[in-house]
Structure 1
Amino acid sequence: MGKKKRRAAATPAIKQLEDTKVTFTTHEYEHSNDDADGYGLEAARKLGYDERQVFKTLMADTGDERVIGVVPVNGHMSLKELAHAVGAKKAEMADPKVAMRESGYVVGGISPLGQKTQHRTVLDESALEFDEILVSGGKRGLSLGVNPHDLLAVLDATTAPIATQKKSY
């Protein structure tokens, strides 16, 4: 059973971590619809975490498959690098409606964990600099703290340098 700081309503993301017996923490905050910085930066600020330690989950389409990229909230995801990481020629951002339908979560609360449809996942290699990173817990205002190596194991994910500040999403 996961270690929790505060009791959050179980989401599919929490259930997946509990089922795999991965240690994690929950972090809840009051989400504001007026925050212009974006969901991830809001989470980092309200929870008091370094923006490089809080990660956002994005879905891309390579033409052959949809792929999940998990990158720090203070940067962007390089579609070129994501495509390279999965052996595709190119990638483009998936339509938000498709991302919500296939993940089972709303935009701003999409977690790499507990998705309705399992997708190949690539975690930016910068996550390995930390003992704990935060990812969405499956709803706005809920983040989960997890060791990046545990996250990789649970998701059967890989790492690659997919975060950048240039020519990105």
Structure 2
Amino acid sequence: MARKQASQGTPATAALAAAGVPFVVHPYAHDPAVASYGLEAAEMLGIDPARVFKTLMVDVDGRLAVGVVPVSGNLDLKAMAAALGGKKAAMADPAAAQRRTGYVLGGISPLGQRQSSPTVVDDSALALATILVSGGRRGLDIELDPAELIRLTAARTARIGTRDD
């Protein structure tokens, strides 16, 4: 995989470039009328939705955390809480998520966040050679080795996404 420098100019691409991690930038034309950003990315890029992961900010027992799950499923809040040793999880307030990460909704990347948060990546990522995550703005995804994402975010892995299996 060729490494692209931070030519797209987001904190996520800058973090990857600074760490020397190979990645590929996948820009696409975002439609502002679309509400499901991750599924839009998969469709626009022609990539299996099981390889495109969405970044969700969650409140676990009063602490913000990051869940990274395939766009083909949903985040299991109970599993997310358990993965972090918590009792209860709920989706974070959108304004709090944006303040914490420095990104807009639909463009929140697990990489290069203004303030880092405990991160859990769905274990389905481990079976894939590469995954795509938000590059830090709507209409931009980054493809990278999931092991590098886990390393750079100090993430845990757990089954936190729902699946049809």
TM-score, with structure 2 as normaliser = 0.94
2:53·2:70 contact (CA, 8 Å) conserved in 1?
Answer: yes
Aligned to 1:103: 101
For 1:16, the equivalent position in structure 2 comes to 15
What does the per-residue CA deviation read over 1:45-93, in whole Å, with 9 as the maximum and x for residues that have no partner? 1101100000000011112411100000011001100000000011111
The 5 Å alignment of 1:28-107 reads: 28-36=27-35, 38-107=36-105
Q: Is the 8 A contact 1:8 1:26 kept in 2?
A: no
Counterpart in 2 of 1:157? 155
Are the counterparts in 1 of residues 61 and 87 from structure 2 also a CA contact under 8 Å? Answer: no
Relative to the length of structure 1, the TM-score reads 0.92
* Matched positions, count: 163
Secondary structure in 1 matching 2:67: strand
SS at match of 1:145: strand
Q: Is 1:133 aligned with 2:139?
A: no
Where in structure 2 are there 5+ consecutive unaligned residues?
none
Identity %: 49
- 3-state DSSP of counterpart to 1:108: coil
Secondary structure, in 3 states, of the residue corresponding to 1:33? coil
The amino acid across from 1:31 in the alignment is: H
Cα offset for 1:129? 1.4
